[in-house]
Amino acid sequence: MSIHLLFLYLWLHPIGAHNLSRSMTPLCLKDEMSALLQFKERYEITNVSDDDPLTSPKTLSWKNDRDCCSWDGIKCDENTGHVIVLDLGSSFLNGSIDNNSTLFQLAHLEKLNLNDNHFHYSQIPSRVGDLLRLTHLDLSNSYFSGQVPTEIFKLTRLVYLNLCCNSDPCERLLEMKATDLRSLVQNLSSLEVLRLGLVQMSSEVPNTLANLSSLRSLKMRGCKLYGVFPSAIFHLPKLQFLVVSENNALTGSLPDFNSSSPLELLCLDSTSFSGELSSSIGILPSLGYLDATDCKFSGSIPASFANLSNLEYLGVTTNPLTAQSISSLSWVWKIKKLTILDLFHNNLYGEIPPSIRNLSHLAELHLVGNQLSGTILPQLMNLTQLGLLNLKQNKFYGEIPSSIHQLQNLQALALAKNDFSGTVELDNFVKLKHLELLQLSSNRLACRTSSVNAGLPRLQILGLASCNLREFPAFLQNQKDVNWLDLSDNNISGEVPFWVWNGTFKYMQYLNLSHNFLTGLDRYYPINPSIMYTIDLSHNMLKGPPPEAPPSILSYIVSNNRLTGELPPWICNLSSATVLDLSSNNLIGKLPICLGNISKSLVILNLKGNNFHGSIPEVLLRGTQLRVIDLSDNQLQGKLPRSLANCKMLEFINFANNSIVDTFPSWLGSLPELHVLILRSNKFHGAIERHKSSSAFLKLRILDLSINAFVGKLPMEFFQSWNAMKSKMGNFTYMHRNLKPKCYLDLTYYGDWDFSMIVAYKGLKLYYPKILEVFTIIDLSSNLFKGEIPDVIGDLKGLQGLNLSNNSFTGHIPPSLGNLTALESLDLSWNKLSGQIPRKLTELGFLSVLNMSYNNLTGSVPRGKQFDTFSNDSFEGNLGLCGEFIYRKCRDSRDTSKQPSTHKEDLGSPIELNWKIVLLGYGSGLVIGVVIGNAFIPWKHVWFKGNARLRQQPR
């Protein structure tokens, strides 16, 4: 009876039923509550921010006077009370974790989320494999490091696994062996989501991945994958998201897609995928994001992409696509939902068509690095949603329209490196209240500002290089948030005003005032000692001691000024410095031993062109990052520091024009990356000894030992391991290094470094501050070498310049030199060579400078190809020589060595120019003069060109 009454009561009083059900729900188990509270106590809660609503310090709500099932981030089983979900993502946890953690007492966990915390580079505890009920595991972005434990592969119920993005800015922290990747795929067969971005694998992608038929999301960005990507993965029936970006050695091609594919996002950027962009991409009904940036796709962009009605992002930047007019991409303007269009470096030419106005949702337009021309169309002003307009590095011309202010949502405007002209009133940009980035550098603009009070309240990045400025823009005094400022290559003179240093720019990180006419720094004090990364004051007229750099500095460039005094003591405090360039000043004194304190981080050390004296200290014992050391053109003495051999990343060494007394540094042959070694004009002596290793100087491309006192024969073994000189490189790119990765809009806060060198000719010094990767020379001139020229030099088929002049070489000229088919300059003058000139040398089709003067050569000068262009100057001082083009004619006019002239059919130089020699390279230098039409160009101008500076982007 009582039971019937109870049911009647519950039916009449549903609220009572609810309360009863609540009271019947089990409470959190005491042992699990205790485990959670112990877990909480191990971690500090740091850097709490209210800016992001998705982050919160969840463990702050964990109190032992409340049921733990009600705590933030906790969910319990309604029947048993066991904790089944622990979600501590973005909870500001700070501390380590190991196998002793009480977390692993929660044996009934089904979902564990620890993402976006800081676990102090702990290894992922192997005991995570004890949580056998887990279906979801998220350890992403939490500073875990080391090997991924194989115990994770026991979690066969997993449908969601995310280990992504455990990395520092400079290194990936997590690793997984190739065998482990295969085991993961084999054991975790129920996976629906697999995210392994930035986990170092160095592995091929296993074919068995295509067996994961439930997979919806596969993300493996930056995992060092290689080999051919299995095409079957593209056809997984449920796959919506596929990301294999930033795996440069990963190859593959796009398949023929099926219209039933649910693919929504496809990211192949920065891989080696090749072939044509499949036209079948156009039948993917759900595709909203396609990124094929920086791959090796060829052909053209298929017009079928017009059918991608849901496409919001299209990126095909930097592929070797066929050059095409932008008007041929008329289908692009029909994709109504497109919000980001990224066509960087795609060989596009022509003018932007008016139909671009149809992209009414467009928020970002990137057309950088093409050959586009014309003016900025009024139709662009109709794109009212546009937040970013990036037209850098094209051929746009005309004035920048004042109507640009109609783009009220514009946050970034990048027009640098075009041909825009006219006067730009910077005050006109004030109407763009959201503008954060403005780049007008390197056009033909005259930038003016009249109002001190005019300002852009959100401006952070301003590039006005080469804008014909005569003074510092007054409105900058009110731009408190500017952190990147480039006013280089202008006509600003006088002192840098005090307001630049007095706290106006409280967030300044990058300041480039180079290539002006600045004479001083008014009441200088280092800006923002905690966050200043780059200061470039090079190529001005600054006097006095070097301006002090803050301890936070990464790139300190004050070269080509009139600075005096010794290196100041604060140099020793630059423990984070990447670039230290005080070259071409009037600095004196000895190099301080404290340079060793900064060598661990230092990449570029350039102190050339000063008056430093004394010995070079052993400062580089920790120089693990050092790539360039240039101490040339000083008065340094003593020996080369043997600690240089510890700097395994060194690529460029230049100690030319000092008074160093030493023997040949064969011990530098162990440096695996060394490309350039210049020891010209010192007091090196003794014989050249071969390196004990058969792999010495493997990558050496430029060797200059001229004007020293080396003696003896050249050992054959000296040249045998120089593999970089044995092949011809086809890429006409300059030797340079990115000091740090580029970030937003190709912007750098650190700069790039261009390798440079000086060529000596007849006592003159010609400075060429860029060197092409293809350039390969050997200069051993003005020493005391003797004996025969080794035949093995003929194996260096990539060699373009060989200078053995002013020595005491004897014997015949090796016919093997005729194998140097890339050779452009050969100087054997002022030796004791004898015998005839080998006829094989006439096969050197690119030879434009030849000097064999003042030897003991005999016989007739052979005819053919380039040899027909050389005058008497190339052969004078050889009393036994005769020939048609020299002063002594052969007695037999039917010269048996005469070859049919093929001058008109000559293959030409690598840059396809007809060269007529007007100046020959005698003496110790390698300098050629050529006439192209009426223009006189010094030799190597095509190999070394550009502006002498640390390149700072963007302009």
pLDDT digits (tens, 9 = 90+) for 177-204: 878 889 999 999 999 999 999 999 989 9
The answer to whether 155 touches 134, Cβ cutoff 8 Å, is: yes
CA 908, CA 847: separation in Å to the nearest integer?
Answer: 9
Sequence letter at residue 260: S
Across the range 74-81, mean pLDDT stands at 94
The closest alpha carbon to 413, from 446, 376, 468, 358, belongs to: 376
As beta bridge partners, residue 859 has 881
Structure tokens at 949: 């500076």
Statement: residue 772 has pLDDT above 70: no
Lowest mean pLDDT of 316-325, 578-587, 762-771, name the range: 762-771
- Which of 466-480, 484-498, 759-773 has the least mean pLDDT? 759-773
Q: How far is CA 731 from the centre of its chain?
A: 17
User: What are the extents of the domains in the chain?
Assistant: 26-201
Confidence of residue 928 (pLDDT cuts 50, 70, 90): very low
Burial of 401 per CB tally in 10 Å (0-12, 13-18, 19+): middle
Domain 26-201 annotated CATH 3.80.10.10: yes
pLDDT mean over 414-442 = 92
Alpha carbon 304 to its chain's center: 34
- pLDDT bin (cut points 50, 70, 90) of residue 552 is confident
Tell me the C-alpha distance between 617 and 595, whole Å. Answer: 9
Q: Is the dihedral of CA 245, 745, 738, 768 positive or negative?
A: positive
Count CB-CB contacts under 10 A for residue 41: 11
Q: Of 718 and 394, which is predicted with more confidence? A: 394
pLDDT at 895 over 80: no
Q: Which pLDDT score is estimated for 536?
A: 94
Q: Do 282 and 258 meet the contact criterion of CB atoms below 8 Å apart?
A: no
Nearest residue to 201 via CA among 251, 139, 249? 249
Torsion over CA: 932, 935, 939, 944 (sign): negative
Mean pLDDT across the stretch 571-579? Answer: 87
At residue 133's C-alpha, the angle toward residues 128 and 139, to 5°, is 40
Taking CB atoms within 8 Å and a gap of at least 24, the contacts of 281-286 are 281/254, 281/257, 281/305, 281/308, 282/306, 282/307, 282/308, 283/257, 283/258, 283/259, 283/307, 284/257, 284/259, 284/308, 285/259, 285/309, 285/310, 286/240, 286/261, 286/262, 286/310
Give the CA distances from residue 803 to residues 1, 394, 856, 915, 923, in Å, rounded to whole numbers and listed in that order. 116, 41, 18, 20, 9
Give CA–CA dist 64/593, Å, rounded: 59
338 pLDDT exceeds 70? yes
What is the average per-residue pLDDT within 680-702? 89
Sign of the Cα torsion 128, 129, 133, 135 reads positive
pLDDT at 951 over 50: no
Q: What is the pLDDT of residues 808-850, one digit of tens each?
A: 999 999 999 999 999 989 999 999 999 999 999 999 988 988 9
Are the beta carbons of 874 and 911 closer than 8 angstroms? no
pLDDT at 955: 35
Q: Are 221 and 246 in contact (CB under 8 A)?
A: yes
Task: In whole angstroms, give the CA distance from residue 216 to residue 7.
Answer: 48
Q: What is the distance between the alpha carbons of residues 62 and 40, in angstroms, rounded to a whole number?
A: 8
Q: Which amino acid is at 136?
A: H
Specify the amino acid at residue 220: M
**For residues 742-769, average pLDDT:** 53
Q: Could you report how far apart the first and last alpha carbons of the chain are, in Å?
A: 90
Angstrom distance (rounded) from CA 784 to CA 713? 9
Whether the Cβ atoms of residue 434 and residue 363 lie closer than 8 Å to each other: no
Q: In whole angstroms, what is the distance from residue 804 CA to residue 833 CA?
A: 11
- Residue 917 has a pLDDT of 26
Cα diameter, the chain: 143
Please report where in the chains the tokens 């792999």 appear, as a residue.
695
Contact 674, 700 (CB under 8 A): yes
One-letter amino acid at 915 equals W
Give the global pTM. Answer: 0.79
Instruction: Report how far residue 636's alpha carbon sits from residue 615's, in angstroms, rounded to the nearest whole number.
Output: 6
Specify whether the CB–CB gap between 890 and 867 falls below 8 A. no
CB-neighbour burial class of residue 894 (10 A; exposed 0-12, middle 13-18, buried 19+): exposed
Structural element, H or E, at residue 630: strand 628-630
Lowest mean pLDDT among 104-118, 277-291, 618-632, 709-723: 618-632
DSSP assigned state of 204: B
Please identify which residue in the block is written with the tokens 């709490």: 48
The H or E element spanning position 21 is helix 14-24
Residue 374, both tokens: 């014309």
**What pLDDT sits at residue 754?**
62
In the block, residue with structure tokens 């106005």: 357
pLDDT per residue over 146-187, tens digit each?
A: 999 999 999 999 999 999 999 876 577 899 987 888 999 999
| pLDDT for the residue numbered 887 | 81
Separation CA 950–CA 556 (nearest Å) = 10
pLDDT at 904 over 50: no
> From CA 912, how far away is CA 924, in angstroms rounded?
28
CA distance 253 to 231: 8
Name the β-bridge partners of 767: 758
Q: What is the pLDDT of residues 794-813, one digit of tens each?
A: 999 999 899 999 999 999 99
Gap between the Cα atoms of 503 and 532, Å rounded? 12
Locate 542 and state its tokens. Answer: 């600054």
